């Protein structure tokens, strides 16, 4: 590939483009992401088979509370450190001080309200679990600043190493070990405590920073942006967890366990896929806020790449839900089958929506996302309250429907602030649809033709067939499926990476 082709994917050397900045970080991120997806899926399967729906339901309530802590701790100041063009030592001290104070506040609030939360869900065991988990919030508060500084530097190789290592120590070693010894829900408590403690220790080792307390901001304030980020994250938290909250309250812990397993199964790999891209896009777009063309090109590249992955994968999961559940988690989890279909489809919408927020925030338009998510949150609460009167499956379809509205609202907000039309967005996602249609077709045919096969064996065969059809369709429809932005980026990447070059050859991609 000649130099002009490689340079087409980047801005002049005086100001690197968002795409170039993103590639530098993604290069290191996705090895860690792949490791985490495989390890978390394996651990989730083992724990689900050992612990069962009731234990998962109890801990799903605790995860709701942990989710609140993750959002509130730091008060949005970690993102403000990343977004700010220049930071001083006093900014770091200010963010660290208020992160610790917020962590202490959340811990105290959880300890005080644990009995009330348990009463709300009609299960006294939940209070004991929350008390046991309370140190997690202190560890999280210590994570905010070092992780933000690493994100600011686009040091995603270090971040992934820390996250993979801490997860394996916490869940594979401690969590599975305790579950094998019959610890029940306390195996999950021990796993979370160990993971967050080791995560904190490793971050502080890799990124030391000033820790002298400071309550007042520096001369250039961060609070306004941090407040927008915090408010948006709280609304997102409501959207992503109100279904679990209401299912647990209205249908009970066991049904919550079934719903939570299906939700976590599709949400975990989706989160790993989009969170890395979110961090990279936010960090890079914060450094290239005035580069409108670069923002547009990078967003189109990312959406095209996401579509090629999530549409075939999750449409395939939605097509054969019972085979997926029985083949992976066993017969006692079959109630999750009909729930899995709408939730898998929702992840397609979520993944393509999730990368719009970081671009808006990096451009300083976090308020635009907040407006969209606020109205979506209200609609979701209403939809779930109505659907819960019918069934758990109705709740899952309600969630899927609201995710359609959420994606539409975010795309319109992006169109206004980054001048990207909805038509352009549809063009970016069409590649995944083109490849997904034959993948879903072969899965449906195989599932219908092999009804008497053991679920695990049938699932393995279907995965092999789907992978083969995916690669074949990608080669046959390569021109239609891979848009110009993604094509230029992949070819530019291939000029600097042997494995990227082999991937382009596998797809039949040529300059």
Statement: the pTM of the whole predicted model exceeds 0.75 = no
- Rounded to whole angstroms, the Cα distance separating 240 from 249 reads 16
C-alpha distance across the termini of the chain, in Å:
7
User: pLDDT tens, 17-27?
Assistant: 544 545 555 55
Q: Give residue 372's pLDDT band: very low, low, confident or very high (50, 70, 90).
A: confident
User: pLDDT tens, 185-241?
Assistant: 899 999 999 999 999 999 998 888 878 888 877 666 677 777 777 777 777 777 777
Mean predicted confidence (pLDDT) in 411-436: 82
Task: State the Cα angle at 286 between 280 and 291, rounded to 5°.
Answer: 105
Share of residues in the chain with pLDDT > 70 (%):
85
The predicted structure's pLDDT at residue 400: 94
Distance of CA 221 to the CA centre of its chain: 29
SS3 percent helix, strand, coil of the chain, rounded to 5, is: 85, 0, 15
Range with lowest mean pLDDT among 42-46, 389-393, 407-411: 42-46
**Helix 337-354 and helix 321-329, axial crossing angle in degrees, nearest 10:** 100
Mean predicted confidence (pLDDT) in 154-163: 80
Residues near 354 by beta carbon (within 8 Å), at least 6 away in sequence: 274, 277, 278
The predicted structure's pLDDT at residue 200: 93
- Rounded to whole angstroms, the Cα distance separating 41 from 441 reads 25
Mean predicted confidence (pLDDT) in 456-481: 91
Q: How many helices (H) and strands (E) does the chain have?
A: 22, 0
* DSSP helix/strand/coil, 121: coil
CB-based burial, 329-338: b 16+ in 10 Å, e otherwise: beeebebbbb
Residue spans per domain, the chain: 17-446
Residues near 290 by beta carbon (within 8 Å), at least 6 away in sequence: none
Residue with tokens 């397993």: 261
């Amino acid at each position: 590939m000649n130099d002009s082709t490689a340079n087409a994917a980047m801005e002049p050397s005086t100001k690197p483009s968002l795409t170039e900045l993103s590639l530098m970080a993604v290069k290191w991120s996705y090895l860690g992401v792949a490791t985490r997806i495989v390890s978390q899926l394996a651990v989730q399967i083992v724990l689900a088979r050992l612990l069962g729906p009731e234990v998962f339901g109890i801990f799903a309530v605790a995860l709701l509370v942990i989710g609140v802590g993750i959002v509130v701790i730091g008060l949005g100041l970690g993102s403000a450190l990343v977004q700010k063009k220049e930071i001083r030592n006093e900014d770091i001290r200010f963010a660290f001080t208020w992160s610790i104070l917020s962590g202490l506040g959340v811990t105290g609030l959880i300890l005080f309200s644990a009995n009330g939360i348990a009463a709300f869900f009609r299960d006294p065991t939940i209070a004991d679990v929350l008390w046991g988990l309370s140190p997690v919030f202190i560890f999280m508060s210590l994570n905010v600043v070092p992780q933000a500084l690493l994100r600011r530097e686009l040091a995603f190789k270090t971040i992934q190493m820390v996250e993979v290592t801490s997860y394996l120590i916490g869940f594979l070693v401690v969590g599975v070990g305790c579950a094998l010894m019959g610890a029940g829900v306390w195996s999950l408590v021990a796993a979370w405590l160990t993971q967050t403690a080791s995560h904190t220790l490793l971050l502080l080792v890799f990124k030391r920073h000033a820790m002298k307390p400071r309550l007042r901001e520096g001369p250039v304030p961060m609070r306004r942006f941090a407040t927008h980020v915090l408010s948006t994250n709280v609304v997102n938290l409501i959207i992503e967890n109100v279904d679990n909250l209401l299912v647990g309250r209205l249908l009970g812990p066991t049904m919550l366990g079934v719903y939570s397993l299906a939700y976590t199964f599709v949400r975990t790999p989706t989160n790993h896929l989009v969170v890395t891209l979110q961090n990279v896009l936010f960090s890079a777009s914060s450094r290239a806020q005035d580069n409108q063309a670069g923002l547009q090109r990078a967003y189109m590249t990312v959406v095209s790449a996401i579509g090629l992955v999530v549409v075939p994968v999750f449409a395939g999961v939605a097509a054969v839900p019972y085979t997926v559940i029985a083949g992976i988690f066993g017969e006692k989890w079959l109630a999750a089958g009909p729930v899995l279909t709408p939730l898998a489809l929702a992840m397609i919408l979520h993944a393509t929506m999730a990368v719009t927020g970081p671009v808006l925030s990096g451009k300083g338009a976090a308020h635009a996302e907040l407006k969209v998510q606020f109205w979506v949150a209200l609609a979701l609460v209403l939809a779930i309250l109505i659907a819960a009167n019918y069934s758990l499956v109705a709740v899952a379809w309600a969630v899927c429907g609201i995710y359609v509205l959420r994606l539409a609202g975010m795309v319109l907000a992006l169109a206004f602030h980054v001048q990207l039309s909805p038509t352009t967005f549809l063009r970016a996602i069409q590649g995944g649809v083109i490849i997904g249609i034959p993948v879903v077709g072969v899965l449906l045919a195989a599932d219908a033709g092999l009804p008497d096969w053991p679920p695990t064996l049938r699932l393995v065969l279907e995965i092999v067939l789907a992978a083969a059809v995916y690669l074949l369709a990608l080669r046959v429809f390569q021109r239609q499926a891979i848009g110009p932005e993604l094509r230029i980026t992949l070819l530019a990447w291939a000029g600097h990476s042997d494995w990227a070059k082999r991937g382009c050859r596998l797809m039949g991609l040529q300059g």
